[in-house]
Structure 1
Amino acid sequence: MKLSKLYGIGVGPGDPELLTIKAYKILKEVDMIVTPRSSEDKRSLALLTIEGIINERKNEPIVVEPVFPMTKDQAKLDFYWEKAREEVLKNMKDMKGCETVAFITLGDPSLYSTFYRFLKIFKDVVDEVEVVPGVTSFSACSSIAKTPIAEGNEIVSIVLDITGNDNAVQIIKNSDSLIFLKLKNMDKIKTMLGNKKAIIGIKVGFKDQKMFFGGLNELQQPDHYLSTLIVKKEPQD
């Protein structure tokens, strides 16, 4: 039992209109869509983004929503990855003629997504792989704010967590523009950077998105993990 093609598709930050034309065409035709969620009681936000496309289709695809918990416990992660593999393979077997699968992820598949781990555990049953890029949350944030992330020779760095990360601290010191994803430790960031010009986007692209602009010291720790902070190292206007 083999797939003729596996797609890794970035569906953007949450706004269906930011989906690429290529992603749209593939999702209109693919046999199965795999979309991760963080727990059994939560919906996949990536799936929510493409619901309109699924509703447009004449033939409904199989949709598999495996749970990939947000944890650093490797044993727990291995358990859920194996469970996801079994679930997808079972659906492939049950659906006669299932030849193409799209694994969808918010943002871009090549940036802090679960797609490449998924590819690793499925490479033995896949003949061909294609990755379709997507719009990132920080691109969407900068567009809404009408503020460039970087110009000229400015250095841009992306940081996930600064806790106990000496490399991240050094990178922050040497960068002109900083992007913090899944924002944590806001107070520590303020201490390190002072009152620099900043943008925070929460659930950017979704109907309940929130955007905040101003000096870093004026902004509060976001209450949702889908949060993006962009800091420019230049004097506050």
Structure 2
Amino acid sequence: MSGVFYGIGVGPGDPELLTVKAIHAIKDVDVLIAPKTEKKEGSVALSIAQPYLKEDVKIVYQVFPMVRGFAENSTDAWANNKKEILALLEEGKNVAFLTLGDPMFYSTYIYVYRLLEHEPVEIRTIPGIPAFAAIGSQMGYPIVEGNDILAVIPATAAPEKVEKALDAADNAVLMKVYKNFGEVTDILARHDMSRQAVLVSRAGLEEERIIHDIEAHKEEKLNYLSTILTRKN
């Protein structure tokens, strides 16, 4: 009998922010797939889940190269990862893929799900708290209220797309603010959204950093896990 494949969101960083359902699944699975980058050792998602791992769980690290136009450009590495996961499931093992934040929100898990969704396997996806939700609660910063329109924007998007999204929004969340922090800050300033902004890097993790005056820090380098919450004045 084939095992069950779980996609588990482990939240932004604090292990206490995992859901009860996520913790139960982590404790029950036979194998944990821990995504890692090609350049770094270890897995942030795995470190967050560490307090809940059972002693004999098997940890499998997989590298998932980032590609644009996934359906057309997925690489041999992705195919090999899929093959490895299916082999474990065919052995009857329950397998979990750990991901930061929520599995269906700007997550590598989405691509893994697409690899497996048409295979004869059972998939259960367990939601997690996205970083911006945790930051809003931590900072006492309402993300939206009343009839506010919220834009959730990857800072890696083309500047013209960011501009259009901000034109339509009352409040905004900008994620992955790292490569172009200065440019993003300038765009927010043009929309009168820089002075109300708060940036949190590595929320809930070691080396967490909070920046209120983003214009004063816009030349600095940031960690990939950096998020801005802001609103129009």
Q: TM-score range by the shorter chain?
A: 0.7 to 0.9
Match of 1:63 among 45, 59, 70: 59
Would the alpha carbon gap of residues 170 and 125 (structure 1) be closer, same or farther in structure 2, given more than 3 Å must change?
closer
**8 A contact 1:64–1:88 mirrored in 2:** no
Q: State the secondary structure of the residue aligned to 2:36.
A: coil
Find the aligned partners of 2:29 and 2:157 in 1 and give their Cα distance: 41
Deviation, 1:91, is 4.3
Q: State the secondary structure of the residue aligned to 2:200.
A: strand
Structure 2 residue aligned with 1:187: 182
Deviation, 1:11, is 0.3
Structure 1 residue aligned with 2:79: 82
Find the aligned partners of 1:31 and 1:108 in 2 and give their Cα distance: 22
Q: State the secondary structure of the residue aligned to 2:129.
A: coil
Find the aligned partners of 1:198 and 1:222 in 2 and give their Cα distance: 17
Would the alpha carbon gap of residues 26 and 163 (structure 1) be closer, same or farther in structure 2, given more than 3 Å must change?
closer
Letter in structure 2 aligned against 1:186: F
Match of 2:106 among 80, 98, 112: 112
**8 A contact 2:63–2:77 mirrored in 1:** yes
**8 A contact 2:5–2:89 mirrored in 1:** no
1:27-75 CA-partner distances (Å, limit 9, x unpaired): 1111211121112642110001111111xx25x1222111013454868
Deviation, 1:124, is 4.9
Identity of aligned residues (%): 30
Find the aligned partners of 1:6 and 1:162 in 2 and give their Cα distance: 30
Q: State the secondary structure of the residue aligned to 1:180.
A: strand
Find the aligned partners of 2:118 and 2:2 in 1 and give their Cα distance: 8
Structure 1 stretches lacking a partner, 5+ long: none
Residue 212 of structure 2 corresponds to residue 218 of structure 1: no
**8 A contact 2:156–2:176 mirrored in 1:** no
Match runs of 1:1-237 below 5 Å? 2-3=2-3, 5-39=4-38, 41-54=40-53, 57=54, 60-72=56-68, 77-92=74-89, 97-98=92-93, 100-161=94-155, 163-183=157-177, 184-194=179-189, 195-214=194-213, 216-220=214-218, 221-234=220-233
How many residues are matched? 226
Deviation, 1:142, is 1.4
Letter in structure 2 aligned against 1:79: D
Deviation, 1:227, is 0.7
Find the aligned partners of 1:124 and 1:171 in 2 and give their Cα distance: 34
Deviation, 1:165, is 4.9
Find the aligned partners of 1:101 and 1:158 in 2 and give their Cα distance: 31
**8 A contact 2:176–2:224 mirrored in 1:** yes
Would the alpha carbon gap of residues 218 and 47 (structure 1) be closer, same or farther in structure 2, given more than 3 Å must change?
same
Find the aligned partners of 2:211 and 2:63 in 1 and give their Cα distance: 31
What's the TM-score, normalizing by structure 2? 0.86
Q: State the secondary structure of the residue aligned to 2:32.
A: strand
Q: State the secondary structure of the residue aligned to 1:111.
A: coil
Would the alpha carbon gap of residues 91 and 16 (structure 1) be closer, same or farther in structure 2, given more than 3 Å must change?
same
Letter in structure 2 aligned against 1:116: I
